[in-house]
Amino acid sequence: MKSIQNKIYWILQIIGWSFPAINSWAKILIETPLKPTYIFFEGLIILLSGIIASSWLRSFIKKNIDFEKLASKTFIKISLAYIAAALLYFSQMMILTFIAYNSLHDKSIEITTIILISSFVNSFIFMLFWLVFYISIKAIIRLRLAKAKQFALQSSLNEGQLNTLKGQINPHFMFNSLNNIRALILEDKYKARDMITRLSEMLRYSLANHSVNKIKLSEELEMVENYLALSKIQLEERLEHSIEIDKQLLTIEIPPMIIQMLVENAVKHGISNQQNGGTISLTIQKNENMLDILVSNNGQLVKTSQSTQLGLKNIKKRLQLIYTESASFNLFEKGNFVHAKITIPLK
């Protein structure tokens, strides 16, 4: 990066200081007593003097000016360095052009007051233009670097937030499942063994997908089936479920555990709170370039649990981090059913 910046700097240096040099070289096109050789050296002296003086000013600024801590002393330093650079530019031009003229002409150059004042003022004007341009470019580069660092920091923060929000199985569900399986061992050891397998699959799924943002829909549905099977140990006939999905959609990738969280919310805050239980239905369908995921359960939408709100906020935050404004999440009541609907883009 620094190598590229140095190349750009020297290219701009040569181009920038060539303008006053070209203005001097243009004298060769008009009738003048000055020799062409001197005109060439005069332009070359202007070019090199500007490069030397401005390079010294740049070196001074890099070593002595901290743009992170701007203060009145900083502006005084820059002003004094600017004056010194302008005087260096002026003195170099006057001395070297004097030597070149006397070497290439039969008589000594006559330096009038007008020439002296004009050269002095031009030196300060040219150096001021250089200083303003240099500081402006430096400010632009620093701004872009700051934005790049901010973007990298935000990306890292978003990744950290995603890893915190996704793929974590509810510890209360784990505790209840283990207790239910322990009781089931006395009744049906084969079913208990199957439930242990399902629980281990859920743990494996959670750990394996902790660092990824997308997984196949078929894998997520396996997780949902395992969760429902484990929930039925406690709820038994009180919990019924149905899944409706086009098999062609099974390879579509979605955020991991997003459907499982909807189903868990429906079981925990819907079915388990009803004496006679109820039914959870999962419908997934394609709607043009969007994927609609709908989880419904019979019951009423009652906001009484803080944990419910945290779960829903978790879902909304994850969708925002991954899809920004392209995805949506809605929780609403219609008839005797509570519906949780997620819409995400397919591309």
* pLDDT number for residue 88: 93
Predicted local confidence at residue 154, as pLDDT: 60
pLDDT at 170: 60
**pLDDT value for 102:** 85
**DSSP-H helix ranges across the chain:** 2-25, 36-64, 72-104, 113-165, 171-187, 189-208, 217-235, 258-266, 306-323
Q: Which residues of 114-148 are buried (b: 16+ CB within 10 A; e: fewer)?
A: eeeeebbebbbebbeebbeebeeebeeeeeeeeee
CA–CA dist 174, 189 (Å, integer)? 19
Please state, rounded to an integer, the average pLDDT across all residues of the chain: 82
pLDDT (0 to 100) of residue 7: 86
Topology of domain 166-345, CATH: Heat Shock Protein 90 (3.30.565)
What's the rounded Cα separation, in Å, for the pair 227 and 86? 77
Alpha carbon distance, N-terminus to C-terminus of the chain: 34
Asked whether 226 and 194 are in contact (CB, 8 A), the reply is no
Tokens 């910046």, located at residue: 5
pLDDT at 70: 66
pLDDT of 168: 54
For the chain, domain boundaries: 2-162, 166-345
In this prediction, the residues of the chain whose per-residue pLDDT falls under 50 are: 167, 306-307
Task: Return the pLDDT at 169.
Answer: 56
